[in-house]
Structure 1
Amino acid sequence: MSQQRRIFVLPTVAELREEEEFLNRRWDDFAHVQGLPLGPQHPVHPTKLVHERRTNKPYVLQSCAQISWTGSRAKLLEIARRSDSFIPPRFMFVYEGNVFVGSEVVYSADGQPAPTLADIIDCTLPISEIQAAAVVRALLELEGKGVMYGRLKASNIFPCQDGRIRLAAFGTDLKPEGMRSLNSGCQELGHLANHMLTRIPRLLGKSQTKDQKLLIQTKSSRIEVDVNREIGAIYLDFLEACMDKDTSLEALSKHKFLNGGPGPECFQINVRHAELTALRY
């Protein structure tokens, strides 16, 4: 009986150097006292802008407890390192029982920090249903890479001037799991689409109420409606599909709301508007 040989693929010199560079930072390499908090803060593991002491280069530093550094998070980190869909992480290290991951700071063409989707939503230029659908389609492409959304925040999404949609998260809110039948990813995309079109971050549950708001009751949720803005029937049906516990991401990707239409490049005017708005302040 012949024995099957095992084939080992040795890393190249360039790959070894890249891995060494990724793992060679330490806590003391950064000026933490001057670190600036970014976005909504976790009480124990805040996201901060820190500068490397040697180069004075800024990085976004995120962390989690070492006990929470699961195989799923490690897998997501590897996806982020190799994919253009993520802001690339540049290093990681362990310090006092916590895992830290540092990513690049995203800049606009003007050299200013690039706006997140949350910044763009808050600008005066409204987002159309066509543009919202383009963003959702781009995010659905990540599902094909095994990424499921735990809680998808507009503050972690960067629509770029070149038309790409990129994510900035290393595992707190994104879970790379092969669970196509689960609805959590669909719900997150529904919340995000509604946030883009109404500036309301989360849809209301069936039992929730909100005084002095016009609400549309669907089978799975209550949708707040701006009386000055027309809401299309196809979009409402899309939200209902998102919130339906039986909807899969694969089925959602075939919904009429997402069929056809331009790509994320149609979002460039909103990105530029947000950049110019930021320059005024």
Structure 2
Amino acid sequence: LDPLVRYVIRREYTLRCMINARPTRLGMQSITEDHPCYTIKYLTNKPVNTFTKDQFLHLYQAVKDGLMTVEYSIDNKGISHTYADDIKRSYTRDEYSDNVLEWNKIRAMCIDLMLTKFLYPKFQRELEEILLDEAKQYVMKQCSKCLNDWIKMAPYRLSNDENVTSISDAGVRVLSISYSTDPDDVSFAVILSSEGQVMDFIRLPNIMLRDNYSPENRTKKDKDFDAIREFIKQRVPDVICIGVESRDAFYLRTRLEKMVSDLQHDEEQFQNLPEPIKVLLCDTELAKIYSKSRKGESDFRDYPSKLRQAISQGR
């Protein structure tokens, strides 16, 4: 086949190609309003160049999962005139002898065979790979942007240390608390030095128990909060951070703020602090990545994942 013909047809296929999509019987049940393919559940003559962001990636995955069927078409449905007819004009002789008419039919058959059996399937695979690559590039850029937003966090500084240029100069000690939404899992509180080194940590196995279920749960939970109180008295952090896993983080912040307020009222060493200890909420996504990474495991080989998460979010 002439390379120029292949080039022209590929270009036209890319410009004209449209997608028709329908859900399968399984897709009718599975693709609900919270499914990413809900807005593209039914497609008719949708040009491929109108797909945005990661739409095609979701569509491709739905096809692999058997939730949708997709048909690629270069011609509008309902219109008898096709792109193949335009090509046939270039190879048809405008004569009326029987031989010429027969040759025109043979040429038309060859063009149909060339397009439907060879070129269109090949160009469809190429176009699908291009659309997939564009969608994946978008996802990677979004992940990169999200990761950049996570790691560009500035270090915590005391309000009276505005001229301090580094956290090590400020000498800020951080108490980081990482809890689990599973009551059977162990939570941890860790105190970090100004260089991010672990000074001490405590286990909090009962801090997430529901105290309204039984008096025994309430007693165990209060015991963990008493342990945190003693931990704060011993180490005197400059700031307390709580990783947000659920709405329970707001409850923990409220209770810790009351605890810190009581300490500042009752304990002389807390009254002499340059400023009150703040209790902050922080995102846990980056800390979770670190806790399960090879770097985190090599740095703290003997520590459980939840404790590594507390260390990372404190840093």
Which has the larger share of helix? 2
Short-chain TM bin: under 0.3
Task: Select the structure of larger CA radius of gyration.
Answer: 2
Normalised TM-score (structure 2): 0.19
Select the structure with the greater relative contact order (CA < 8 A; seq sep ≥ 6): 1
Normalised TM-score (structure 1): 0.20
